[in-house]
Copies of this chain bind each other. A is one copy, B any other.
Amino acid sequence: MRVFGVDPGLTRCGFGVVDGGPGRVVRAVAVDVLRTPVDAPLSVRLHELYDGVCVWLDRYEPQVVAIERVFAQHNVRTAMGVAQASGVVALAAAQRNLPVEFHTPSEVKAAVTGSGRADKAQVTAMVTKLLGLKVAPKPADAADALALAICHHWRAPMRNRLEEAQARAAELARVHKAKLAEAARRSGS
């Protein structure tokens, strides 16, 4: 499976494409940071970001897009810009019928370092190690995008197993209910 990880932002947006192999093997395919001009109108910046995302989606053809979930930050204006950026990334994916999953920063940190409160240096160090890179990806947004993609690779099977278990439980409950109804019908007739 190929995952496109995106650390959304207007000033710097991290892009990371990671392939998953057997077991926990992960391999970096591409990584970069897209910048949009700080002095341009917001709508123009969103347009540039959207065009950049479309180029990456069409070039690398991932099966899923993983985006960092935005939370209210210290700076409300920045948080809103990040949310708007994540919106156009999700749109570009949906236009290609690709599933989009959001992961919180602490889920991403926990997935690659074992701690949801790891700092940026620790995340970068683990991403470099897990992907077997010769140099650490820079800036932090690039490393974060790769970390997001790795997080998705490792969380997705767990999530799928959970969903399958839930579906099985729901099916068993349905069958059980039907049997009870059948028994009630017979005893009544």
A interface, CB within 8 angstroms of B: 41-44, 46-47, 50, 65, 70-72, 76, 79-80, 83-88, 90-91, 93-95, 99-100, 102
Contact = CB atoms under 8 A, between A and B. Distances in A.
A87 B93 contact: no
A84 B84 CA distance: 4
Contacts of A87: 46, 83-88
B91 A50 contact: yes
Contacts of A99: 41, 43
A43 B69 CA distance: 13
A76 B100 CA distance: 20
Contacts of A44: 94
B88 A91 contact: yes
A163 to B, nearest CB: 14
Nearest to A69: B80
Task: Pick from A46, A80, A87, A91 the residue with the most CB of B within 10 Å.
Answer: A87
